[in-house]
Structure 1
Amino acid sequence: MINADPKTTRIGWIGTGVMGRWMCQHLMDKGFQMTVHNRTRERAQSLTDAGAAWADSPEAVAAASDVVFTIVGFPEDVRAVYLGENGILAGAKPGCVVVDMTTTQPSLSQEIYAKAGEKGVHAVDAPVSGGDVGARNAQLSVMVGGDKNVVEAITPLLEIMGKKIVWQGGAGAGQHTKMCNQIVISGTMIGMCESLLYGYKAGLDPDVMLSSISGGAAACWSLDNLAPRILRREFDTGFFVEHFVKDMGIALEEARQMNLALPGLALVHQLYLAVKASGGERLGTQALMLALEQMSNIEFRQK
């Protein structure tokens, strides 16, 4: 088992987007030898400039690494990166630990765990919450599923990227926990946006209003981090709408399989589909405000 020592532990990283770029950098800043791969090589340029080695495929990353982290876009990307031709499991050696930090289907995490185990490879699912700000500031919450002894071995690495690391149980448990997280956020997002619209129509100063409610029972991450972006009309940064739509879709499908009704989640999912359909798929999740403004025929604040 690895000992998470930068002198002896080689790390691979696949997925250097809005969040992965920063998470990988934090490990490099601690002195770990890094091999990286991304579908678009240019997105990894800042990391290779900082000393990371480039690999042409997930297989090549795994062959050069003791621990491989992934954070990609969609379940089909996860499947291709791990199980496809030139995928991680084609290159990983026995004893290697692979850690998927993408939000994906719990069943896919369990499948990867089983197939990795056949090769003597340890698979962990460790989705995160905290958005681009949390990734940049190493303040993520990490929800972890997998064998406890393996999770304990990699926890020092996870602690470099996050402020709260919690083992949830066996394979897939981290992903199920992330679904719980996204269900809460979906309700929080619509509540935050509707409160801003209500305050606007009531003639309140939004900054003053937020200073009050963010210090009371309504306090939450979205009010602190996303409401200010809405006030500044900043919709092009943050966690992408298309990824949140994907997450909510996974949660709704998992709920369906459990014969569980989640009408609030279904409503917010539909509203975000409207944002996506209007061309907002690559906007931050705070762009929900744009759909609600259109429904109310107002713009919250002039640009």
Structure 2
Amino acid sequence: MTNLKEIKTVGFIGVGIMGNSMAGHILAAGYGVNVYNRTKAKTDAIVAKGAKWFDTPGAIAANSDLVITMVGFPSDVEEVYMGEQGILHHAQPGTTLIDMTTSSPSLARTISEAALTKGLAAIDAPVSGGDIGARDAKLTIMVGGDSATFNHALPVLKLMGGSIVLQGGPGMGQHTKMCNQIVIASTIMGVSEGIAYAKKVGLDPSSVMQSIGGGAASGFQLNILGPKMIAGDFAPGFYIEHFIKDLNIALSEAKAMNLELPGLIQAKKLYDQLAANGHSKDGTQGLIQFYLA
């Protein structure tokens, strides 16, 4: 087990829709916070509150006791960790690394193994809850890694989420997130189809929400995103393009296990069509547009 540094300063790489709130909670708790984002302007608000800007992921790593990454795609994760100006080349021994991006389980294992050879400790900790969960510090956090590193990082993780569970070794947090996305994929199709049916038969969809939102159909996709679908509000809490990325990872992992997931396949097909029609930057609730076209 790596001798981990006491956590006084947290580096946060990826200050976007969710990362800005997540880093803000850590700063508000009294930790020093160092930030990096490809678009520097997105860090202006948190820097104004006291965070420090660094111009490369490596510089963040060299000046932080714990580093959190919340970027877009597995290719971004690989570059941020393994590039010449990346985390693994510049972090000091004893640094804790947490990738909270939804990424591939195999990449999470690769990062963990590489970290150990450098006297670092890495865990994967993807999240669910979107911009609302990030804002309210109520994210669900799914962790893969060793228990000692998990317990060391837990006080910081608790600043961002409510449900925080160690699911197994490296990569198992990412596998758990795939389970989450698989469930969402079919659920959001069901919500879209329910609303489309209500409109077609002449019901008031908002009134329908009042009835079914308190029954067995209730849940985040129906109760939170359903009203946005009805209102035509497709502002992103989670981008369609990032959801497609997640579905691709899940389908790839399922294929490797010879596991057939027809609901996931259909959801991916519909979201691909929306993205091809220019809706990749919409929120996932934008799926309703396929049914109402």
Range class of TM-score, shorter chain: over 0.9
Cα separation, 2, equivalents of 1:219 and 1:3: 42
Residue pair 1:132, 1:239 contacting (<8 A) in 2 also: yes
Name 1:134's counterpart in structure 2.
133
Match of 2:20 in 1: 21
Superposed counterparts of 1:273-292, under 5 Å: 273-292=272-291
What is aligned with 2:256?
Answer: 257
Mapped to 1, the partners of 2:230 and 2:48 lie a distance apart of 36
- Partners of 2:227 and 2:28 in 1: how far apart? 30
Residue identity in the other structure for 2:251: L
CA contact (8 A) 1:2 1:153 kept: no
| DSSP 3-state at the match of 1:160 | coil
Q: State the number of aligned residues.
A: 290
Give, as a single letter, the amino acid of the residue that structure 2 aligns with 1:272. Y
Once the two structures are superposed, what CA deviation does each residue of 1:135-178 show, in whole Å capped at 9, x if it has no partner? Answer: 11111000000011110111111111001100000000000000
Amino acid at match of 2:269: Q
- For the residue of structure 2 that corresponds to 1:226, the secondary structure is helix
Per the alignment, residue 182 of structure 1 pairs with: 181
Q: Unaligned 5+ residue runs, structure 2?
A: none
Looking at structure 2, the residues matched to 2 and 209 of structure 1 have their Cα atoms a distance apart, in angstroms, of 54
Q: Which residue of 2 aligns with 1:300?
A: none
CA distance in 2, matches of 1:84, 1:20: 21
Deviation at 1:212, TM superposition (A): 1.3
Q: Which AA in structure 2 matches 1:79?
A: E
2:277 partner SS:
helix
Q: What TM-score comes out, normalization by structure 1 length?
A: 0.94
1:234 matches 2:233: yes
Partners of 1:238 and 1:13 in 2: CA distance: 20
Residue 32 of structure 2: aligned partner = 33
Deviation at 1:216, TM superposition (A): 0.9
What is the SS of the residue equivalent to 2:119?
coil
The answer to whether the 8 Å contact 1:2/1:154 transfers is no
SS of the aligned residue for 1:164 comes to strand
Mapping of residues 121-200 of structure 1, within 5 Å? 121-200=120-199
Contact kept? 2:6, 2:65, Cα under 8 Å: no
How far apart in 2 are the matches of 1:12 and 1:184? 32
* Structure 1, unaligned runs of 5 or more: 295-303
* Matches of 2:6 and 2:156, distance apart in 1: 10
Measured in 1, the distance between the counterparts of 2:290 and 2:222 equals: 18
Take 2:227 and 2:156, find their aligned partners in 1: how far apart are those partners?
32
For each residue in 1:6-59, what CA deviation from the matched residue of structure 2 results, as whole angstroms up to 9, or x when unmatched?
xxx110000001000100001111111011000110111111111110101000
Q: Secondary structure at the match of 1:165?
A: strand
Q: Quick one: percent identity of the two aligned structures?
A: 48
1:68 matched to 2:39? The reply is no
Post-superposition, which runs of at least 4 consecutive aligned residues in structure 1 deviate over 4 A? Answer: none
Q: 2:97 — aligned with what?
A: 98
Question: Does 224-233 or 243-252 show the bigger shift?
Answer: 224-233
Q: Distance in 2 between matches of 1:106 and 1:69?
A: 17
1:145 and 1:23 mapped to 2: Cα distance?
19
Where does residue 56 of structure 1 map in the other structure? 55
